[in-house]
Structure 1
Amino acid sequence: MTTSTHEIPFAEAIIISVNGVDLEVFEAGSENAGNPIVLCHGWPDLAYTWRFQVPALVAAGYHVIAPNQRGFGNSTAPEDVVDYDIEHLTGDLVALVDYFGYERATFIGHDWGAFVVWSFTLFYPHRVDKIVALSLPYLVRGEVPWLDFMEAVLGSDYYFVHFNKQPGIADAIFDSDPARFINNLYRKNEPLSPPKPGMALIEIAHGDSPLGDPLLSEIELSVYDSAFKHSGFTGGINWYRNLNRNWHLLADADPIIRQPALMVYGLRDTVARSEQLSAFVPNVEELNIDSGHWVHQERHEETTNAIIKWLARKQDK
């Protein structure tokens, strides 16, 4: 069954109890059982972000599993910040794959979802067949905890740091008008402009004249608006509030990822590229697409086709 409220048909949600939470999960292609692929969204995003990829992946023979991860949509949003650390986030995926009866799966992640997929592979390498990461490359674990490093280099107004140092402020601003924040953030064809002082995401939330063109149609924006009016933004922001904790939790993991991986960059994305990706992910291929941050939505046809061709090529080997 599909909903009638989306411009692109999207599977009806099912609620699955895993790892101490209820996850809202969108499943498609059950007829392709035995060939699972798990799609992990980023922030502030939803499983709906994959609406362009799901039908193409099903047509390519995949059993698609796309959760709203904890803190998003109708999934459980625990109150305790530590319930959003990387052990909990990856534990949800373990339990989800177990629920569907799979030992291994291919994982695709965008933004924070890519961080979860990279980390999942470090913790559970035997559960991962292949990886596709969009926007966020593998984050090397240096000698200084990530938030401490970001504050020293980028300052206390950098949004990762602000979320931690001034909890609740950004949450309330985003919650006050989800549609405005999402519409101002999800843009394409943005001209290059120098950074403004202050916390960038708060400035975006307050903006009256966002740069570039809107990425989402009115119907698509209404899906995000409804979801974040229900969930609020705090659950997703709590992922950021565990970054130093995650640095400690990953201390004993083998840092080398050996699975075949595809790293997709948007050439106009502000997320930094990795100059040492192949040292930590030796079986990686890198792809550049002329896009901003939301590459799988902005250039969805090109991105989807590239992913499917890469997966097919790796399947044949």
Structure 2
Amino acid sequence: MHEPTFVRVNGVQLEVFEAGREHAGNPMVLCHGWPEHAYSWRHQVPALAAAGYHVIVPNQRGFGNSSRPAAVTDYDIEHLTGDLVALLEHYGYADATFVGHDWGAFVVWGLALLHPERVRGLVALSLPYQERGDTPWIEAMAAAAGPDFYFVHFNRRPGVADAVLDAHPERFLRNLFRRDAPPVMSMVDLAQAEQPLGEPVMRDDELAVFVAAFAASGFTGGINWYRNLDRDWHQLAAADPVVRRPALMIYGDRDAILRSERLAEFVPDVEVVSLDCGHWIQQELPDETNQAILSWAARLQQRPEHREVQGHAGAHARDE
């Protein structure tokens, strides 16, 4: 990962890492999840840049050294997707290929609904497209999983989990970034557990990067993404629910997140890849993840409409 730059967009400042800027006109934006960081893509950045992409990796609002607004509503889907649109404009691009993992996948799916003209194609890791349904998401989760499920707990008991995680960042992250661990119901319990379960996803020196980042920023900014889920549900109500862009869905066979049984109904132009790993897909199997993304992206670039758009975007970026 190169040294970051700081970019003022959409009323916030984002810490942005990039590589392959010489490949103007072929941007790929990588969007991390929670509780993660741009560093989550450390295995992808060099491979994608070497393959001819201008790789742009922001620490999204609330994470790393990016801005952490105080208002909870500043972390809703309109703000998060607005940051990505403004980031494209900063670099002089009309659109890009977007890759998102976990919460980053939710934001990328939302971008394809709210700003489809900005998305050439998208790759989602772990989290498939989420149907809105008739009930706001947190309300539905509370009914299905109870008040202690961490999505619900974050919303119904504001500040409680934040304080526990802030007090134990190293223990919490060490316990969370594991392979073959049981599904997590309570992040508070996980942060207080003395003995981690499963095998570590990363080396101690890699984990230290995440620990230092969250020790400095705290966890509230990222948790505020969860606190907007029902607000997001309302904001997406008017959008066409069908993603009309090419997409790649990468599942981990041992991930606790459920697969979508109706993915192709909502994302007609989707390819699906399954890898033998858990939730932290691009960190557990980096080479396989890179191959899946690059193979799909190569097929995407062969489409006539993609080649035409890429040529126009490259000229625009050079003019900027």
* TM-score of the pair, normalised by structure 2: 0.93
Per the alignment, residue 179 of structure 2 pairs with 188
Q: Which amino acid in structure 2 is aligned with residue 112 of structure 1?
A: W
1:249-302, CA deviations, whole angstroms, 9 ceiling, x for partnerless residues?
001000011111000000110011100000000001111111010010001111
SS of 1:93 mapped into structure 2:
helix
Offset of 1:200 from its aligned partner?
2.1
Contact 1:173–1:205 (CA<8 Å) still a contact in 2?
A: yes
Q: Which amino acid in structure 2 is aligned with residue 252 of structure 1?
A: A
Query: Which residue of the other structure, out of 65, 69, 75, is the alignment partner of 1:74?
Result: 65
Per the alignment, residue 156 of structure 2 pairs with 165
State how far apart, in whole Å, the 2-side matches of 1:37 and 1:316 are. Answer: 16
Q: Which amino acid in structure 2 is aligned with residue 95 of structure 1?
A: A
Offset of 1:189 from its aligned partner?
3.7
State how far apart, in whole Å, the 1-side matches of 2:42 and 2:106 are. Answer: 21
State how far apart, in whole Å, the 1-side matches of 2:264 and 2:297 are. Answer: 19
Q: Which amino acid in structure 1 is aligned with residue 90 of structure 2?
A: Y
Per the alignment, residue 179 of structure 1 pairs with 170
State how far apart, in whole Å, the 1-side matches of 2:47 and 2:115 are. Answer: 27
SS of 1:31 mapped into structure 2:
coil
Whether 2:197 is the aligned partner of 1:238: answer no
State how far apart, in whole Å, the 2-side matches of 1:179 and 1:13 are. Answer: 24
Per the alignment, residue 201 of structure 2 pairs with 215
State how far apart, in whole Å, the 2-side matches of 1:187 and 1:154 are. Answer: 23
Q: Which amino acid in structure 1 is aligned with residue 10 of structure 2?
A: N
Contact 1:109–1:117 (CA<8 Å) still a contact in 2?
A: yes
Per the alignment, residue 250 of structure 2 pairs with 264
Aligned-residue CA RMSD in angstroms?
A: 1.0
Per the alignment, residue 122 of structure 2 pairs with 131
State how far apart, in whole Å, the 2-side matches of 1:116 and 1:159 are. Answer: 19
Contact 1:183–1:216 (CA<8 Å) still a contact in 2?
A: no
SS of 2:40 mapped into structure 1:
helix
Contact 2:168–2:192 (CA<8 Å) still a contact in 1?
A: no
Offset of 1:231 from its aligned partner?
0.6
In the TM superposition, what are the counterparts of 1:77-92 in structure 2 within 5 Å? 77-92=68-83
Per the alignment, residue 302 of structure 2 pairs with 316
Contact 1:40–1:109 (CA<8 Å) still a contact in 2?
A: yes
State how far apart, in whole Å, the 1-side matches of 2:13 and 2:95 are. Answer: 22
Q: Name stretches of at least 5 consecutive residues in structure 1 with no aligned partner.
A: 1-9
1:211-253, CA deviations, whole angstroms, 9 ceiling, x for partnerless residues?
1111121111111111001110000000000000000000100
State how far apart, in whole Å, the 2-side matches of 1:206 and 1:265 are. Answer: 29
Per the alignment, residue 24 of structure 1 pairs with 15
Contact 1:37–1:106 (CA<8 Å) still a contact in 2?
A: yes
Q: Name stretches of at least 5 consecutive residues in structure 2 with no aligned partner.
A: 304-320
Contact 2:98–2:119 (CA<8 Å) still a contact in 1?
A: yes
Q: Which amino acid in structure 2 is aligned with residue 177 of structure 1?
A: H
In the TM superposition, what are the counterparts of 1:261-300 in structure 2 within 5 Å? 261-300=247-286
Q: Which amino acid in structure 2 is aligned with residue 217 of structure 1?
A: R
Per the alignment, residue 3 of structure 1 pairs with none
Per the alignment, residue 37 of structure 1 pairs with 28
Q: Which amino acid in structure 2 is aligned with residue 234 of structure 1?
A: T
SS of 2:279 mapped into structure 1:
coil
What percentage of residue pairs aligned between the two structures are identical? Answer: 60
1:116-149, CA deviations, whole angstroms, 9 ceiling, x for partnerless residues?
0000010111111010000000000111111111
1:71-98, CA deviations, whole angstroms, 9 ceiling, x for partnerless residues?
0000000010000000000000010000
SS of 2:22 mapped into structure 1:
helix
Q: Which amino acid in structure 1 is aligned with residue 174 of structure 2?
A: N
SS of 1:275 mapped into structure 2:
coil
State how far apart, in whole Å, the 1-side matches of 2:10 and 2:186 are. Answer: 34
In the TM superposition, what are the counterparts of 1:141-152 in structure 2 within 5 Å? 141-152=132-143
Q: Which amino acid in structure 2 is aligned with residue 222 of structure 1?
A: A
